[in-house]
Amino acid sequence: MAQRRGIVVVTGVGRSRGIGAGIARGLAEDGWDLVLSHWAPYDDRLGLERGGDDPAEIVAQCRELGARVDTVAVDLAEVDAATELFAAARALGTVHGLVMSHCESVNSSILDTTVESWDRHFAVNARAVWLLIKAFAAGLPAEQTTEVQARIIALTSDHTVHNLPYGASKGALDRIVVAAGVELGACGVRANVINPGPIDTGWMTDEIRESGTAQTPAGRLGTPSDTAHLVRFLMSDAGGWINGQLLYSNGGFRTHS
C-alpha cells in the first residue's frame, strides 16, 4: 500500500464508468487522499448507465487502496460551490492537487441552443474552473518558490459542432487553466489541461464507437484508466516540470468538430 502523500480534490466523480472515477482510483493507488465532488441531478438528467450508489462504490474502492476519502455533493453552477468544496477538503488537511473532471454537456447546435443552456455550460465548465482554482490558490503559501507545491489539472474537449455550448465553454476552460500555470507558477503551482479524446463512458452509440475507433491510430477507444495514467504522471515528482500545457492523451485521435 502506497505511503500517503496529501489531499487531492477531484470533481465530477459521480459515475463508476466515468473518467473522474478512474482518476480517483488511480490517485488513491498512488497514495493520495481524496475529496470527491459529484452532483446527482446532472447524472439524472443525462440518464447514462450507473448503479444504485456509484459515489459510495467509488469511495469504497479508493478506501480499499488505503486512501482517506470524503465526498461532497455540490452543484458547481452555484457561485459558492468552490468555497464549500474546499472548506470540506481543508477540514482533512492541506490540499496539494485539484483535478477537474466535471462538466455540463448537453448536445445542441447554433440554431437550437438556449440562453439558459449556454449560461449553465459556461457556469459549470468555465466559471467554476476559475472559482475552484481561486479557492485552491487561496490556501497556498504566498512565498515564491522553484519547488513544486501544488498541481492543477483539468479535462477538455475539441467537440463543438452540434455540442456548441459545451465546446465553447471548454475552450474558455483551456485558457483559464493555462493562465493559472503562468500566474501561479512562481508559487510552485503546475497547471495543465488534458484532452483525452473520445472515451466511452456509456454515452456512445454503436455508430459513434465504430467511428471513433476507426479514427484512432492506436486501434481502440480510450478508457478512463488511459486518462488517469497521465493525471497520475502530472501529479508525480517526475511530472513537475510540465506546466501551462494542453496535452493530448488520445491514442492519436484528433478532431476538429
In 3D space, the residue among 76, 96, 126, 99 whose CA is nearest the CA of residue 193 turns out to be 99
Element (H, E) at 154: strand 150-155
Average pLDDT over residues 58-79: 97
pLDDT score of 255: 52
Average pLDDT over residues 33-54: 90
CA distance 246 to 14: 25
pLDDT score of 206: 82
Per-residue pLDDT band at 133 (split at 50, 70, 90): very high
pLDDT score of 164: 97
Given a cut of 80, whether residue 256 has pLDDT beyond it is no
Distances (CA, A) of 144 to 31, 71, 115, 148, 150: 27, 32, 42, 11, 13
Average pLDDT over residues 141-153: 93
Q: Is the dihedral of CA 215, 15, 19, 108 positive or negative?
A: positive
pLDDT score of 2: 67
pLDDT score of 160: 93
Distances (CA, A) of 25 to 58, 156, 164: 8, 20, 31
Per-residue pLDDT band at 257 (split at 50, 70, 90): very low
Selected residue with higher pLDDT from 220 and 185: 185
In 3D space, the residue among 174, 168, 180 whose CA is nearest the CA of residue 122 turns out to be 168
According to DSSP, the residues that pair with 152 across neighbouring strands are 98, 191
Selected residue with higher pLDDT from 256 and 154: 154
pLDDT score of 46: 83
pTM of the model: 0.94
Domains by residue range for the chain, with CATH? 6-248 (3.40.50.720)
Give residue-wise pLDDT tens across range 163-184.
999 999 999 999 999 999 999 9
